[in-house]
Amino acid sequence: MKIKILTFLVFSLFSLNTIIAQMGVGINAGVYLPIGVLNDSYNTGYGGEASFIYRFNRSFEIALTGGMSYYKADEEYLKNRLLKQLEGIDEEINIDAVVDIEAPLNLYPLVFTIKYLYGKKKFKPYFFFEGGIFFYDVTYSGSIKVTNGPEIKLPDSIEKESSTSLALGGGFLSSITKRLFLDIKARWGIMNNIKLVDADSNEELRGVDKTVQTISLSAGLNYYF
């Protein structure tokens, strides 16, 4: 008798899960705000992401998310850093020089997300935890034109690496139709060991390992099949 009851409960739970469980996809786009050391050398970034979603029930989801974000270097900061280094070689350079520097940073995260949802059916706030890896590339190029003097071409170089990341965040889903939801969220993330661009006294741009933080604000759509 007990075996029959247990079998019935297991079958009922399985049936319930197959009814509640859903697959879905999501897309988001937004702004990525650098904080800490990343904010010293880079401006606000822009990007987007796409997710494959599995909803176990009304409260829990998991997702695999990939994306891309782009950051433009703070050229004024890098110019000042470079000129300060070169001032030790020739004090006049800091006064009579035009510096042109580019060092765009591209990030490509691939993360696993665990999300807890609550609230009403049509409006569901949530919070989430993410962990995974990211790939990135940053290209350094530039030149220094000394007034009434030579133009110093800085050696071009590119860094391509990967490392790990963690993030926490929250947001809400708002129903548009039965299967389509507006998704608004904010995320605080940490990325380990990015080679941020810096300048040295050898008239070179180089990457220096840093652990960086970002806050992202994004909006998008989730569709559940």
pTM of the predicted protein model: 0.79
Residue pair 54/61 in contact by the 8 Å Cβ criterion: yes
Beta strands in the chain (DSSP E): 22-35, 45-55, 60-71, 97-102, 105-117, 123-146, 151-175, 180-200, 204-224
Range of the domain at 114: 23-224
Kindly report, residue by residue over 12-45, the tens digit of the pLDDT. 444 444 446 789 999 999 999 999 888 888 999 9
Q: Is residue 5 part of a domain?
A: no
The answer to whether residue 18 sits within a structural domain is no
CA distances from residue 75 to 79, 80, 195 in whole angstroms, order as listed: 6, 9, 17
Q: CA 173: distance to chain centroid?
A: 21
* pLDDT of amino acid 100: 79
Residue 78 domain-assigned? yes
CATH number of residue 189's parent domain: 2.40.160.20
More confident residue, 84 or 176: 176
Whether residue 11 is contained in a domain is answered as: no
Q: Tell whether 8 is covered by a domain.
A: no
Number of structural domains in the chain: 1
pLDDT tens digits, one per residue of 77-103:
877 777 776 665 555 555 566 777 788
Residue 169 has pLDDT above 70, yes or no: yes
Taking alpha carbons only, the member of 20, 32, 6, 25 closest to residue 60 is: 20
Q: What is the pLDDT of residues 100-116, one digit of tens each?
A: 778 899 999 999 999 99
